[in-house]
Amino acid sequence: MPKRVKIELTPEEESTLKMWANSGTTEQRFALRAKVVLLASQGLTLPKIAEKTGLHEQSCYKWRKRFITHRLDGLTDKPGRGRKPVITPEERSNVIAMACTEPVDGSTRWSVRKLAQVSNMGKSTVQEILSEASLKPHKTEYWCGRSPDPEFEAKQAAIIGLYMDPPENALVICVDEKSQIQALDRTQPLLPLQPGKARRMTTTYKRNGTTCLLAALAVHEGTVEGRCVKSANHEEFLKFLKHLYRKYPGKELHVITDNLSAHKHHKVNDWVSRRKRLHMHFTPTYASWLNQVEIWFNIFARDVLEGGIWRSKQQLVNQIMKYIRNYNELWAKPFKWTYSGKPLTA
């Protein structure tokens, strides 16, 4: 067995080995293997390397030879080597049962790290158990709860009927508002998207005012009518209704909206009651998802609001109205109503 073999390292290899040897987060066995190679690159003999690392000479020889043959890849363990951890069915059941409970430390859900600490297992072992049981404690899915509205069936049937089979000469319009849209500016300039680099902006921002978007979706055309106002009160809602009423003369207007108090204000009711071709339809309690304009609001938020930067409230308003014009010209089309009527939950 040769006692002295000097290894020539590339700058990248030397940098990586030093990082492994000196990092406090590197597993001890990898740190020692890196030290073996670094000492060998200095021309030290096996006895000296063994003395400085505390490893047996045979182990030092092994890792020096593995590095010469396979370079950095030679310092990793071969697949299938080492003793497999033995996890009993009872231990697996305990981890699964614990993951399905609420933690006692005040947090709302378990993490793999916390489960590993409490169960005295490795994180990878806990992750494997959760994966086999199809458990994802970090994830929450939302569903629509049962509406307490005693008239739910009648209201939802009327609205879906308008979607699926509207009356002759009728225009079905879904109306709602998106309030408190903030004109946020960043404290530092935006760093644009580049190859290999994401679009970047500071987490610190300044507010330049807010606006409220009143929007009306023509269900069977897919077009959107929008207006930005200061606040979502009954006066602005009534003005918007009057605008829609004038825009579509000679049409039977069926307006679908939710139960916001501004939509049911006595001034709104008085005006609507005197308009024979205007019909209001309110979604059931906790069922605003029946209102198709909510789908459009999700598209709008994704396309316009996420990551937006505006130096003034007027700049925000101008961009919103520009988006609505382009949406109507380029992308507007009716949404397909695909819900089959099957219960969402037992």
CA distances from 313 to 189, 224, 239 (A): 18, 21, 21
Q: Would you state the pLDDT for residue 235?
A: 97
Distance CA 233, CA 257 (A): 14
Model confidence, pTM: 0.66
Residue 31 lies in a domain: yes
pLDDT tens for the chain, 346 residues long, are: 445 677 788 888 888 788 877 776 556 777 888 888 888 888 788 888 888 888 888 888 888 888 888 887 777 776 655 555 577 888 888 899 999 998 888 888 899 999 999 888 889 899 999 998 899 998 888 777 788 889 999 999 999 999 999 999 999 999 999 999 999 999 888 888 889 888 888 888 899 999 999 999 999 999 999 999 999 899 999 999 999 999 999 899 999 999 999 999 999 999 999 999 999 999 999 888 899 999 999 999 999 999 899 999 999 999 999 999 999 999 999 998 776 666 554 3
- Out of 75, 103, 119, a domain closes at 75
Name the token pair of 85: 């951890």
Query: Is residue 299 domain-shared with residue 180, that is, in the same domain?
Result: yes
Tokens of 269: 């009711």
CB atoms within 10 A of CB 162: 20
**In terms of domains, do 260 and 117 share one?**
no
Cα 95 to Cα 179, 205, 214, distances in angstroms:
44, 43, 50
| Strand-pair partners of 213 | 178, 228
- Verify that 96 and 205 share a domain, yes or no: no
- Per-residue burial over 86-106, b if 16 or more Cβ lie within 10 Å, else e, is eeeeeebeebeebbeeebeee
37 and 119 belong to one structural domain: no
In the numeric block, the tokens 């308009």 are attached to 275
How would DSSP label each residue in 214-276?
A: EEEEETTT--EEEEEES---HHHHHHHHHHHHHHSTTSEEEEEE---GGGG-HHHHHHHHT-T
What pLDDT was estimated at residue 297? 97
We report the CATH number of the domain holding residue 327 as 3.30.420.10
Q: How many C-beta neighbours within 10 Å does residue 44 have? A: 20
CA-CA distance, 31 to 79, in Å (whole number)?
Answer: 19
Of 45, 75, 105, which marks where a domain is finished?
Answer: 75
Domain annotation covers residue 271: yes
pLDDT at position 38? 84
Statement to judge: residues 59 and 114 lie in one domain: no
Structural domain count of the chain: 3
Among 47, 75, 103, the domain boundary falls at 75
Asked if residue 113 and residue 31 are part of one domain, the reply reads no
Residues 19 and 64 in one domain: yes
33 and 67 part of one domain: yes
CB burial of 264-301 (b: ≥16 within 10 Å; e: otherwise) equals: bbeebeeebeeeeebbbbbbbeebbebbbbbebbeebe
Whether residues 94 and 210 share a domain: the answer is no
Q: Quick check: is 337 in a domain?
A: no
DSSP lists the bridge partners of residue 210 as 182
Cβ neighbourhood burial of 159 (10 Å; 0-12, 13-18, 19+):
buried
Distance CA(172)–CA(163), nearest Å, equals 8
Secondary structure of residue 340 in the 3-state scheme:
coil
- 311 plus 183 within the same structural domain: yes
Any domain includes 314: yes
Rounded distance, CA 44 to CA 48, Å? 6
Q: Give strand pairing partners of 173.
A: 218, 255
pLDDT at 1: 46
pLDDT for 71: 83
- Same domain for 279 and 227? yes
Tell me: do 176 and 34 sit in the same domain: no
Crossing angle of helices 46-53 and 57-70, in 10° steps, is 110
| Residue 343 is assigned to a structural domain of this protein | no
Residue 2 makes CB contacts below 8 A (sequence gap 6+) with none
Q: Rounded to 5 degrees, what are φ and ψ at 273?
A: -65, -20
Give the pLDDT score at 4.
61
What was the pLDDT predicted at 170?
94
42: its two tokens: 């200095």
Find the helix or strand (DSSP H, E) in which 227 lies. strand 224-229
Name the 3-class secondary structure at 93.
helix
**What is d(CA 338, CA 199) in angstroms, rounded to the nearest whole number?**
36
Which pLDDT belongs to residue 346? 39
Residue 338 lies in a domain: no
Domain that holds residue 70: 11-75
Q: Does a structural domain hold residue 336?
A: no
* Domain presence at residue 339: no
Whether residue 291 contacts residue 283, with contact meaning beta carbons closer than 8 Å, is answered with yes
